[in-house]
Amino acid sequence: MLTIKEDNMKIAYVCYEIQQRYITADVADEDTLLLHYLQEKGLDITREIWTDSKVNWADYKTVILKAPWDYHDKIREFTAWLDRLHNLGIQILNPYTVVKWNSDKHYLNDIATAGLGVIPSLFIEKGEKPDFEMFFRHFNSDKIIFKPCISAGAKNTMVITPENCASIQKDGHALLVEEAFIAQPFMKEIQTEGEWSFLFFNGKYSHCIVKKPKSGDFRIQHYYGGTIHDEAIDKQYIETAQLYVDKFAKGCLYARVDGIIANGTFLLMELELIEPFLFLEKHPEGLALYYEALMALL
């Protein structure tokens, strides 16, 4: 039986096998930058690929989930891997229970039930075959976003309009055979004002950025042509973002609160607690704040 050496402080810095897709000319290689920074601080930290069968995870005291970006494609394998780490008594950052909860967008129900603002959402469970025209009536909107409950990076995300509804329904029903989906009204603020991301380390606010899609698109990810901007924001929205972290991200090394501001109200799109890009280069003390938070949790 594998056991953990109690006297070590070895840290696994967990990433994804293929990183290049997410590195562009205008976005730093954050994972390498942060890893080198932590190593220079004297931490015994090693980059590992979570799917690498050769890794003896019992050698590690702590596992940091930095960029396991393919977890949603291998969710059963990922969950089993988390279970193994948990059963070995390894500290997982972010925490085991939080990560499992956050891996499925059904978590948005819990946040809405707690009284915090969330983009209106309708869950379509695996095996269901709804009439997609119903979405227009349900949300009183003529443009709907339809995406998997377990996904990242806009994978299998579709925009439903009255013009393409019939063809999207056919594709959607085929996808629903395999997994659950979530439908939400398209929020025009994405294209006009952008999506805000508020970054927190160990529950403390660090910085925020706003992401905007390229003209004619709705995907804000930089590898789809989206852009990242530093913009000032009213303190009230930082305080609102803090509420999501205080309620649902306890004990988390990092948390990214993503959302829009519609008619003066912040509405959550995603609470990112597994593998978010942290935009550390957008804050002069970003690396230091991450390090301080990590040391407080070790």
Per-residue pLDDT at 2 exceeds 50: no
Neighbours of 59 (CB within 10 A): 15
Q: What is the model's pLDDT at position 28?
A: 64
C-beta of residue 186 within 8 angstroms of C-beta of residue 129:
no
- How far is 240 from 201, CA to CA, in rounded Å? 16
Per-residue pLDDT at 42 exceeds 50: yes
CA neighbours closer than 13 Å in the CB half-sphere of residue 82: 23
Q: What is the model's pLDDT at position 178?
A: 94
Reported as a pLDDT band with limits 50, 70 and 90, residue 222 is low
Q: Which residue has the higher pLDDT, 64 or 26?
A: 64
Reported as a pLDDT band with limits 50, 70 and 90, residue 179 is very high
Burial 222-261 (b: 16+ CB within 10 A, else e): beeebebeeeeeeeebbebbbbbbeebbeebbbbbbbbbb
Q: What is the mean pLDDT of the chain?
A: 91
Average pLDDT on 46-66 reads: 97
Mean pLDDT lowest among 12-26, 42-56, 84-98, 171-185: 12-26
Mean pLDDT lowest among 2-11, 125-134, 249-258: 2-11
Average pLDDT on 201-216 reads: 87
Dump pLDDT digits (tens) for 146-173. 999 998 766 789 999 999 999 999 999 9
Model pTM?
0.91
Q: What is the model's pLDDT at position 215?
A: 62
Per-residue pLDDT at 27 exceeds 70: no
Dump pLDDT digits (tens) for 61-97. 999 999 999 999 999 999 999 999 999 999 999 999 9
Per-residue pLDDT at 240 exceeds 60: yes
Per-residue pLDDT at 5 exceeds 50: no
Per-residue pLDDT at 113 exceeds 80: yes
